[in-house]
Amino acid sequence: MTSWRTWLAGLVLTTIGWGGPLTGAPHANTVSWRDQLMDAQVRNRPLPEVLRSLAAATGWRVYLEPNTNPSVTAQFERLGVAQALPRLLGDLNFALVPQPNGAARLYVFRTTSAGATELIEPTPATAPSPPPAPTLANELIVTLKPGARESIEQLARRLGAKVVGRIDDLNAYRLQFDNDESAARARTELERDDDVASVDSNHLVQPPARLEPLPLSQAPPLTLRPKVLPNGEYTVVALIDTAVAVSQPNLKDFLLPAVSLAEGANVGSLTHGTAMAETILRALSVTPGSAEGTVVRILPIDVYGNNETTTTFDVARGIYPAAAAGATIINLSLGSDSNSSFLYRLIQEVSNQGVLVIAAAGNQPVATPVYPAAYPEVLAVTAGDRQGRIAPYANHGDFVDVIAPGTAVVQFENRAYFLRHGLRKRHRRRPGHGLRPNRRGSRSHPSRSARHPNPTRHHPRALIGARFSRDHGAQPALPHPPRPPDGAASFTRPSATARRAPPHIGSREQ
């Protein structure tokens, strides 16, 4: 608690103005900004609404302490920042911090700037353009049955497609066509082919959360050290994310050899993967017994490279080597509104074999499902505030299992950065598209309670602690997954040398 509450303790309050977009004359319930002077005509409006208008007018990045929602009434013209902000914010404190290479940041809080963690997005008129369409309509994921008469290369040539991705051990391949219409025709043909186990769409997965440099601040040093057991065993946490800077002094002793599934990653600057690796280690450093070190090792798996987005196929490509390498936990700080039956089948397989899959629920204050977090086998994590409640900016859908701290401060090359866990803004889910699991009642998958009837304190899920129901009441920790059915592969606890049998995807289409 102390580290993230004090990350801005040395911040200097300032009244320096910062340039932004020009606006027209003020009108009712708006804030405008011209020539470094502010106008306001606001009557009995909620503070977040006023701050959205302020962010749009000035170009500042505005952060508010969660659950701070007084009504604002203010009317003035042509005031400088030092006079305008106290009139606008009333009894609240604020810190306006200019940035050398970007927009100034305004922190609005009651007692300490460390509490201002909720990013206030500007009004829609100046909001960023929406991300690209969630489904790659000119691509298909094709899974062949064992012993198929045609190879994937022969099949692709016959259909006029290119093979642009492959998981040979799963007989799963990513086909790309010249256009959407060709892909649609090929899908119809493939669904009638007896050698094809399944045909699935490939969906875009949005980028993880942004990282923000913090002025006049440093994260506390990481004191955790790696622990080596006499038998050489360790617990593997697979981090499927952007690339991790494996040479970072505070990380390198905890990292296993990285797996790169995409090209061009730049680890010369702080990546989300690097920040997540440090966040995991900092969380471990405050657990009981951490003074003796940790047996946890992080397996970095890069599925983004230098791309803004990845795909559900490439996420599956990351999950497969993670499970085969003996990962006990797989962390997915990524997501999509689109439900991928291909990805879901693979997650079912690794979950049934004892792997805990954790995924982010998303940083939008909605209840719509985000995948893979919304799959029943996945532990869905949303962001919480200092009081243990779901953060105002976080997903609060009924698929959410756990509330965790929504922000962190990490260190990279002697500079502190602010990380908000979760996902960037994304498309709303299209009505009727894919499954919407409902953990309170009817759904097309069995409930977690039905799937996991026998809890055990030794399973990694029990280490997570209590999970929270929709009304934020404490519930028992998630139980141990069931034994796989007869004939299914089973995993044992990994050691430094042991590796698991690879998961497989069944031929049954979802």
The continuous run of DSSP H or E covering 200 comes out as: strand 196-205
CB 275 within 8 A of CB 367: no
pLDDT-wise least confident of 199-203, 321-325, 394-398, 488-492: 488-492
Both tokens of residue 369? 């499902």
The superfamily (CATH) of domain 211-475 is: Peptidase S8/S53 domain (3.40.50.200)
Both tokens of residue 200? 């699935």
User: What pTM did the predictor assign?
Assistant: 0.63
Q: How far is CA 237 from CA 1, 162, 273, 420, in A?
A: 23, 34, 13, 21
pLDDT value for 2: 34
Between CA 284 and CA 225 the distance in angstroms is 10
pLDDT value for 159: 97
Say how many C-beta atoms besides its own lie within 10 A of residue 328's C-beta. Answer: 20
Mean pLDDT of the chain: 74
Q: What is the mean pLDDT of residues 165-174?
A: 96
Percentage of the chain with pLDDT > 90? 38
| DSSP structure string for 331-384 | EE--BBSS--HHHHHHHHHHHHTT-EEEEE--SSS--S--BTTTSTTEEEEEEE
> What are the residue ranges spanned by the domains of the chain?
2-126, 135-204, 211-475
pLDDT tens digits, 72-102: 999 898 888 888 999 999 989 988 888 777 7
Q: What is the mean pLDDT of residues 1-17?
A: 25
Between CA 446 and CA 427 the distance in angstroms is 28
The continuous run of DSSP H or E covering 159 comes out as: helix 152-159
Between CA 422 and CA 413 the distance in angstroms is 24
> Which residue is associated with the tokens 């009894």?
91
pLDDT value for 99: 78
3-state secondary structure of 37: strand
Looking from the CA of 411 toward its CB, the CA atoms found within 13 Å total 18
The continuous run of DSSP H or E covering 190 comes out as: helix 180-191
Between CA 152 and CA 296 the distance in angstroms is 39
The superfamily (CATH) of domain 135-204 is: Peptidase S8 propeptide/proteinase inhibitor I9 (3.30.70.80)
Both tokens of residue 60? 């500042």
Between CA 272 and CA 309 the distance in angstroms is 13
> Which residue is associated with the tokens 């405008």?
32
Between CA 120 and CA 118 the distance in angstroms is 6
CB 331 within 8 A of CB 421: no
The continuous run of DSSP H or E covering 83 comes out as: helix 81-89
Q: Do you find a cis peptide bond into 372, omega within 30 degrees of 0?
A: yes
pLDDT tens digits, 281-325: 988 988 888 889 999 999 999 999 989 899 999 999 999 999 999
Between CA 358 and CA 303 the distance in angstroms is 16
In whole angstroms, how large is the CA radius of gyration of the chain? 25
Q: What is the mean pLDDT of residues 407-413?
A: 62
CB 472 within 8 A of CB 389: yes
**pLDDT above 80 for 385:** no
